[in-house]
Amino acid sequence: VQLQASGGGLVQAGGSLRLSCAASGSIFEINTMGWYRQAPGKQRELVAVITSGGSTNYADSVKGRFTISRDNAKNTVYLQMNSLKPEDTAVYYCNADVYDSTWLRHDYWGQGTQVTVSS
């Protein structure tokens, strides 16, 4: 299974970006999909997650500004980021909790996409 993330870039504070992450390969079912981020010198942290049923959870720092969504038919998760702040600058990684055809669970990560917010 591969996760291909896209949509990062450079934006001014107050701007918006939309990240996408598509999962492909031997997938029977995807449970939770999510976005994490890692800023220089810091640990990777949760940004937002969404279950297959659409339940969501956000980090306090992004609530009200970021929206996570998914298209189950396309095995794709999105992160709409509005009102971006310089402190949102980080490499953003997508994650997927995948069941294979034998119902074994696997945890996959995308390659990361850089988001830089200038002040």
- Up-side HSE of residue 74: CA atoms within 13 Å toward CB? 10
DSSP 91-116: EEEEEEEEE-TT--EEEEE---EEEE
Sequence-distant (≥ 6) Cβ neighbours of residue 10 within 8 angstroms: 116, 117, 118
Mean pLDDT of the chain: 96
Q: What is the pLDDT of residues 37-85, one digit of tens each?
A: 999 999 999 999 999 999 999 999 999 999 999 999 999 999 999 999 9
Q: What angle do CA 73, 76, 77 make, to 5 degrees?
A: 130
**pLDDT, greater one: 27 or 67:** 67
Give the per-residue pLDDT at 4: 95
101 confidence band (pLDDT: 50, 70, 90): confident
- 10 Å CB burial of residue 86 (0-12, 13-18, 19+) is exposed
